[in-house]
Structure 1
Amino acid sequence: MRLLRQKQAKNQTQLELEIGRPFELDRNAHLGGKSFYFFDFDDNVAYLSTPIVIFHKNTNEEKTISSGEFARENKNIGKTGRFADYFLNFDDIQGSFRHFRDKNFSLLDKIIRKKQVFLQDIEKALETKDYGWKAPSWNCFYHATFNRRPISIITARGHNQDTLIEGINLMVRDGHLPHSPNYLSIYPVSNPDVRIELGDKELKHSVPELKRAAIRESVEKAIQVYGYSPHHRFGMSDDDPKNVELVTEEMKELKRKYSDMSFFVIFTKENSFEKREILIPRKRRSPSTEPKPEQLGLF
């Protein structure tokens, strides 16, 4: 794996990427290739105020933490540090991630047009004046949307896919995006129906495992929809170290399967990002069949 770039943003809300207004063709368009962009959403495309609830082991008292805190501390919850005395409850209705799920609205709720929490949080973010809700991959998300690149949303949230689309459409409505993205796939991987679609029939797989499966399905769909090309490029950005670890493993598997294509993992942080290209060592032989040292296959 090759580290391509580790860059500090000029401010703490966006990546500093040179994005021009004129429509830009894919880098490998002249060769028949396309660039596919896969995005985690929270703390990667946008900072939202959706809280995660943790519970005290002795009193069951609830404490809310942000998704950013959870990404940094989830390995320590219930074990060590300031959240050692707390635990996660995975019940979709009353548990830790209940605000990351759609609610089953009553007829009255629908009549008064009550909105899902995700939509409320998007609108709350859009009301801020400093645009501090734009997370490290926002500029990349805008670039991909503006140039109509195929986009996949692969998020730990458990909403319905239509809810995610409706939320992103609010960004279009307010002029933050020029139009709706060219969606390749949308995987809110904690949604029970999506979990089953990804092969988790017993609903036991972890979020990183589900994201890994979603990446695999998205790559296969890209080839199905846009055709095979050795010049395709795929990149996934995420802010959770555990997710990035399994995303990288899946990208390695995909690189082994589609060795001529290019695969990238972007690890986003609060004010910087690391972009790594996945490279798999290859053994080559000379025409005389004598073995040569193992070397990286560069594409």
Structure 2
Amino acid sequence: MDENQKDNDILDSLFVIPREVPKTILRSLLELVYDVKVTGSQFIPETGGALFVSNHTDYLDIPVQGAYAERKIVYLGKYELFHPQEEIMKYVNHKNSPFHYPPLSFTKPMIEYTLKSLGGIIKANLIHWGSMPIIRNAAGETTTMDKKAAMEYYEKLEEYMVGLMRGGEILSIYPEGTRSETGEVGSFKAMAAKMAIRAGVPIIPSGISGATNMSKPQAFLSGKAFKAKIRYNIGKPILPSEFPQGPEKKAAKELTEILEKRVAALVQNPESD
């Protein structure tokens, strides 16, 4: 890391807002609208890496999970989310941009500096609060990937996530791969189990109910969202010593079946472990 980058990182860190601030605001907003109850928080380990898994019913799942966990939960986000200044700079630097000509050309250096500084502050805060940028262009510049490129991309992505957990982070994944429109727990994909096996970290199963469609405008217009009962239950971790043994593919499949049953039970009976 060069000296300029080091100085920029130090400057960005000066503007980092403590995680408790957005967390407290988010919890207050959630409780202002919904009736939220969370159980099992004691099962989140105080230190060390882990994998958080849950069913996925609505955009609300992430703020509920993140706002009510004592430890920081890491979510992967698009690269562009952490570098919002780049899209603006594309316009500023475009060959047809008015910023190539006076008088706007005189303001260009200051605009670039300001945007870069703001982008660094946004990135620093997002990472501090619990987000990590996903790999950019891991499969190349093309918008469509062939099978080989897609496989290489997901292999790099898996290595990245495994590295985060080995480094002591708690990573959140929704093994269904998409949101359920009905609230029913769908089939789990094996990637989450495979990564936990590779990282050698506990898996924390959890289940959410009552949030389905509750972030949609219709829920607010109809009044259904207000004081809707959202229940989020965190279950006892599955330790690496409890993982199925054998070849990785077979063990991951068996562990995925166990996870799916644990999460489904937490959704159906949110007051239980």
Q: State if a TM-score over 0.5 links the two structures.
A: no
TM-score (norm: length of structure 1): 0.33
TM-score (norm: length of structure 2): 0.35
